Structures are given as C-alpha cells and as structure tokens.
Chain A
Amino acid sequence: MPPSADWQSVPPQWTHRHLLDLERLTPEEIRLLLDTASLFKEATDGCRRKLAILAGSTVVNLFFENSTRTRTSFGLAARRLGADVIDFTAASSSLSKGESFIDTAKNLEAMGIDAVVVRHATPGTPHLLAKHLGVGVINAGDGPHEHPTQGLLDILSIRERLGSLEGATVGLVGDIAHSRTARSNLWGLTKLGAKVILCGPPTLVSDRWREFGVEVSHDLDAIVPRCDALNLLRIQFERQNTRPFPSVQEYAHLYAMTIERLRRARANLLILAPGPINRGVEVTAEVADCSQSLILDQVTNGLAVRMAVLWLICGPRAAALPAAGGPLHRSRGSIV
C-alpha cells in the first residue's frame, strides 16, 4: 500500500526507530521504503528539487570509515528535505585519543540531534549505537554486514525497469564474503520474491548461503544467460586477510563481466554496480557504460531512498512509538 503523499506524518505501518539492516524487515516494510522513495523521486522532480519537510531536524553523518559517495548522498538527501547536516569523520574526532565510538556518539547526541547516519568497518556497530543512543540510527554500511540503503537503491533501480521483483532472477557476482551490499540485496530481493544467484569462487561465496534458499554458483558463464539483472560487486581488497584467489588477472578471467559475456546474456539484461568499481576486474569499461547499465540510475535512486529513510526515521509520527529500544534492548543470549 503506497503511503499518502501529504507528508504530514510518517505512515503508521512504519514502526521502526532505526534502519539497521534489511534482514529483519518484512516484505511489506521493504515495499513501503521503496514506495516512499518513488514518491519522493516524483515529488522532487527526480530528486532535483527541495521538499523541506524535515526543516529544523539535524542529521549527523558519523563516518568511521572513508566514504565520499554515500556520505555525499546522505548529506544531499537530508538537505533536500531541509534538514541540517553535520559531517563527522573519525579522522577529525577524538577516537584517535582513545575515546570509544559509543562515547563519541553520546557526545553528539547531547548536542540535540535527530538521527545518526553511521558507517563503520565493524559489523554491528550501528546496532550497538541504537542500543546506547536515544536517537534514530541509520546504517550506512557496517563492515561486510549490511548496507540497507544500497540494497534498497539497487532493488529500486531494478524494480523501475522490471515493474516487479516477483520471479525475477538477479545474480550477485563477486566478493560475497566481504560485501555488505550483497547481504542487503540478498535479503531485500528474496523477501520481494526474486530468485537470487550468488556467483564467485568458493573462497568468496560460501555454499552455506543455499540454506537461505538462494542459488550458489562458481561459474559465471553458466548463470549469465539466466539472469534478468546482474549486480557486479567490488572485490574488497581492504577487507581480506588473505588473498582469496591467485591473481587479479585470474579473477577477472573467471568473473569479470565482459562484452563477450554480455553477448551471451538476455538482450535486456540489466547491469548494476554499487561502485566504486575496479574497472577491468569486476566489469570492463564497455559493459559499465553500455545501454543496459543502471549505474547512473543507482546514483539518483540513492538520493530517493535516503530521503525516504530519513523521512521515515526523523519525520513526525501520528502516534508515539512504544518505549525506546528494539530487540537489542532486551538483548539476551539464546539458550538452546
């Protein structure tokens, strides 16, 4: 059900204080996020105009890991909604003086902010902040765990072209082991009824993903002809303890999306890449720039998705949420 577009209050179906991951959202909640993003895109002439419905709110970009694109996208989305934005990067912080990231965030909270957009190299850091802070927390990437807005913008880009994800076949190719984008895509896509194929060498793609109902393949040539969309994930050299393949050349030989491979695909195969891409490793220049490439759609849709998320987290609510805290507030080890 699409939300009303009067922007008076957040749709009552949205009951979350934070956006931490897609794994624990329902299909309805994911659809609501996508629908809201589409509405924002329409209402702002493709994310080009302002819609100052969060005027007076303050959003902090709390980035413990380098990022230009995501930080810029969140900052611009917040400004399009009229919110004030503070950029806080670890390099300029007191973290180097030994302060814990929780203390840093608590200090920012005390300044009277409404939401924290956090990126961190360690999985779960946004979840810990959500447990310790009283403001909304938006995960902008936590190590190899999740990057929910990236997953949503990828899915939105595919949905715009295919109309629906139901029954679509989407290949996620590359460094699944170290990719937060892969995980957010996987949960979002499967919840919306798409068939997901994970493809890469066994050192980067565990067969155990099959236990979640997805297909695992180590042969790109075998899966390309069956896909409606391919999401070409970056090799995360910086997150790898050891080299999971003998050489970049061998990897590219086996898994780079080349024009030759594109010729064996369906004519309307959609190509996505979350970027920044290593051209020639995951995808060759001809493919990245081909007519089926959604790489620039992804950038625009990133703004739309982030406007939607900021609105849902920071916007006024018709009814108060239950007392602070998600499941983590009742954090409890599982007894077996």
Chain B
Amino acid sequence: MGTLLIRGGRVVDPSQGIDRVDDVLVRDGLVVSVGQSAAQTLGRADETIDAGGLVVCPGLVDMHVHLREPGREEDETIETGARAALAGGFTSVACIPNTEPPIDTQAAVEFVHQKAARADACNVFVVACVSRGREGKELAEIGRLVEAGAVAFSDDGAPVADAELMRRALEYCRMFDRPILAHEEVLELSRGGVMHEGLVSMVLGLPGMPAAAEEVMIGRDIALAEATGGRLHVMHVSTAGGVGLIREAKRRGARVTAEACPHHFTLTDESLRTFDANHKMSPPLRTAADVEAIIAGLVDGTLDCIATDHAPHAREKKMLELDRAPFGILGLETAVGLAVTRLVATGRIDWPRLVEAMSTLPARILGIARGTLRPGAVADITLIDPGLSWRVDVAKFRSKSVNSPFDGWTLTGRAVATIVGGRVKHRLDR
C-alpha cells in the first residue's frame, strides 16, 4: 500500500494528549508516527496530503446508527449508510440491530460484516440484540454473538421494558466486558406521544412524551447497573434530569457511560410548530433548558460522547401527518458541522474534547481498536476544515433518505477527507 504523509495539520489525538501542528505518517495501512522528524527520515512518501489549516484526528466513530438493512432497504442500506458515514467524516460506525429480521444470530452478524466488506467504505461494527427477536422476553445468545464479533448489545428502538431481563443482561454481559446500550423510555408514559410533553405540545394539542418517561428508566437502569456491576451505556440522553442522574451515578463510581445526539444539543420542541415530521424523533426534541443541560453534560464529561442516532426514513414516510410519520432523523452527514457550530465555535468545548467525544471515547466504550493515532494503530484518520462554512443540502447527501430538519442551514466545520485503513475513502470536492 505504500506510504501516506499528512503534512502540517493540527494533529489532535486525545488518546496521546497530542494537540500540535505536525505530520502524520502512514505505512501499509497503519500509523507509523506523529512527528516531523519521523516523516523526514523516511524521505519522500508515495502520497502526500497538505493538511495546512486542517484538524487531523483519529477517525470519527459513531456508535449509534441505523443502517436499516436487512428489511428496510428503501430507507438505507449498509452501503449507502457507510458512504454517508464517510462523507460525514466517520471511519467507523456501530449499527443498531432493529432491522427486519433483527440482528440476533451469528448469521445475521456475519451478513452485516459481509455487506460492509463488499461496500468497502467505512468500518461497520455490529451491535446485536439484547433479547431474542428484540421481543424483550429472553436473552439472545450473547456469548455466540460476541464470538461472531458483536461489540455491544441493544434493543434500541424500544427499551428493555422488563426490569428483570435488563438486570440479567447487565449481569451476563460482565463476563464479556460488553456494554448494554439502553434506549431509556417507560412506554406507558409516552404512549401515543409524538413530541416532548410541555408548553409547546400543550399549545399545539399534540400528544406528549414527558421527560419523566426517560428519566424514570435511566434511574432504573443505573440502579440495576450498580447492583450487578454491568456496563450501562445510556443512549441519546435528552433531558436535564437524565444528565443529572448520570452525573450522580458517575460520581458514585457506577459503570455508566452516555451519549448525546447533535439534534438534542441544537433544536428544541419549538421546532414542532412547523408540524414537519422531520422534527419527530425519539427521544423527542426537548426544551431550551434541556439543550443547555445536554451541552453542560458534554462539557463536564457526564455525557461521554456524541452519537448521531442516524435514523433514515424514505421521503414518503415522513410526508405524513405527525402521528403517522415514523420517529427518526438523519445524523451522519451533519454531525461534524453541528458539533463544531454549536459546541466548538461557541467556545463551549475545545477541539481535543470534541475529538474525544467523537472518536476516542466511543471507540473505548465499544472496546474497538480505533480512536487513536498511536504508532501501530489502524490508520483511520479524519481531516476536518474547522472554519469551512457550508450549506446543508439534503439533495447531495450520500444517505438514501433526506429526513433532516437541517436542510438549508449554514454550518461551520466539515470533514474534507476521510481515511480508512490508510486509504483515502472520501474527499470533499471543492
């Protein structure tokens, strides 16, 4: 494969405490070193990228995407989703198993791996079901799924409603050191809801999903994680109360991690005044106070990472009345722009923290050998233009779907090159 030299960029790698202008040298798909001396001693590289003015960081990892295949190929496929990931700067994604059929067998895990290999885009790691058939009744064959390569377990799309099953899953997963990724929702409290329950839902007459529906379940699962010693990862935290529960649990030393989605630190329930189903997702957009709490959680590390919950739905499914349209929002191709615009450009977090939240920590939570530019690491690298102002145009998305409320927004910060295993897989045409 030869050598690739990425010259003169701002190298940000929190796993090694690096934040300086420097070169990165790659040989045969692996990182050789970060440092000008190393590059010079090597002499001329086979390929050189001038990264002046760019941030050079370990490849971004999105630990929460819905690729829809098998079963809902009209919304997304493993290939289109993986290409959308590359365009968004992600070198790795973890796909959630709420497909049809759900990914709850070794054969299903193998199917995803093969499709991903054929797509030859980004790395696709598999999250498998907690429960057989995602039915919430009995455990899936977690040990065999781990053998097949599943990196985590989740019934996302729905909560593990049965507390005893959740307890057993957390307990059982300890021997594999795998996390349970939890969708936290008490369905009895949110049933029929299409948006956050609050002032706006009251005025619009739309059925609400109260913050308590999420917080009660987060509280339950933290208690179960502490009781069992299992690893709990709270997905898409959207409420101030949820952030508070996780903060306290971490203070007590519980094995709890958590993620926030870009839409939850950007939009509020006021958006539903458009009645546009592109603003409908679960958990829903909350209030301005919740948005602030999510940002504060990312700032102080209560919320470890940023994940998109990329949830494609074909256009016709979203052109429906709010109660008939499905929950979900695209995320892969706007995540960097939203994170830079909302968090970095505003001074709330710095670049090392952003890279930590979008690469180092999601890789660590999933236990995958990514998220670092250490010598010998797989050369997954993302180059970001931190000041690039660009207009979101869903017509140009690599995703098969267009359900993004950010169409037409102007954002700052964009991935300009995505390198997977030492090969440049995406370059922004400019």
Listed in ascending order, the chain A residues whose CB lies under 8 Å from chain B are 23, 100-102, 120, 122-125, 127-128, 142-146, 177-178, 180, 183, 206, 208-209, 211, 241, 328, 331-336
Contact = CB atoms under 8 A, between A and B. Distances in A.
Nearest to A182: B205
Interface in B307-333: 316, 319-324
Contacts of A120: 321
B191 A208 contact: no
Q: Interface centre among B199, B321, B323, by most A CB within 10 Å?
A: B321
Interface of B: 191-192, 198-199, 202-207, 266-268, 270-271, 273-276, 279, 288, 291, 316, 319-324, 405-406, 408
Contacts of B320: 100-101
Q: Interface centre among A23, A206, A333, by most B CB within 10 Å?
A: A333
Interface residues of B, dominant DSSP: loop
The 5 closest A-B pairs by CB, nearest first: A124-B275, A144-B205, A145-B205, A333-B271, A122-B321
Contact of A336 (B204, B268, B319): B268
B26 to A, nearest CB: 38
A334 B267 contact: yes
A215 B44 CA distance: 78
Contacts of B279: 333
Given A100-B320, A123-B322, A145 B206 contact: yes
A183 B406 contact: no
Contacts of A143: 205-206
Contact of A206 (B202, B266, B270, B271): B202
Q: Interface centre among B191, B273, B288, B406, by most A CB within 10 Å?
A: B273
Given A333-B406, A334-B268, A334-B270, A122 B204 contact: no
A122 B274 contact: no
Contacts of A178: 205
A328 B274 contact: yes
B295 to A, nearest CB: 10
Contacts of B271: 333-334
A143 B203 CA distance: 12
Contacts of B203: 23, 183
19 contacts: A23-B203, A101-B321, A122-B323, A123-B204, A124-B204, A124-B322, A125-B321, A127-B274, A128-B276, A145-B204, A145-B206, A183-B203, A241-B207, A331-B274, A332-B274, A334-B273, A335-B266, A336-B267, A336-B288
A102 B274 contact: no
Nearest to A120: B321
A100 B202 contact: no
A94 B268 CA distance: 35
A276 B316 CA distance: 36
A189 to B, nearest CB: 15
Contacts of A241: 191-192, 207
Given A123-B322, A336-B288, 12 more contacts: A122-B321, A124-B206, A127-B274, A143-B205, A143-B206, A146-B205, A180-B205, A183-B205, A206-B202, A328-B275, A331-B274, A333-B271
Contacts of B324: 122
A28 B268 CA distance: 31
Contacts of B268: 334, 336
A128 B321 contact: yes
A145 B202 CA distance: 9
A24 B206 CA distance: 17
A208 B204 contact: no
Contacts of A123: 204-206, 275, 322
A208 B198 CA distance: 8
Given A120-B321, A211-B199, A328-B274, A333 B405 contact: yes
Nearest to B270: A334
Contacts of B405: 333
Contact of A122 (B191, B270, B322): B322
Contacts of A331: 274, 276
Q: Interface centre among B199, B205, B316, by most A CB within 10 Å?
A: B205
Nearest to A124: B275
Nearest to A128: B275
Contacts of A333: 266-267, 271, 274, 279, 405-406
Contacts of A328: 274-275
Contacts of B270: 334, 336
A100 B324 CA distance: 10
Nearest to A145: B205
Nearest to B193: A241
Contacts of B207: 241
A82 B198 CA distance: 44
Contacts of B323: 122
Nearest to B338: A335
Contacts of A142: 205
A328 B238 CA distance: 26
B267 A335 contact: yes
Q: Interface centre among A102, A183, A331, by most B CB within 10 Å?
A: A331
Contacts of B321: 101, 120, 122, 124-125, 128
B192 A102 contact: no
Contacts of B408: 332
Contact of B316 (A100, A125, A206): A100
A142 B405 CA distance: 23
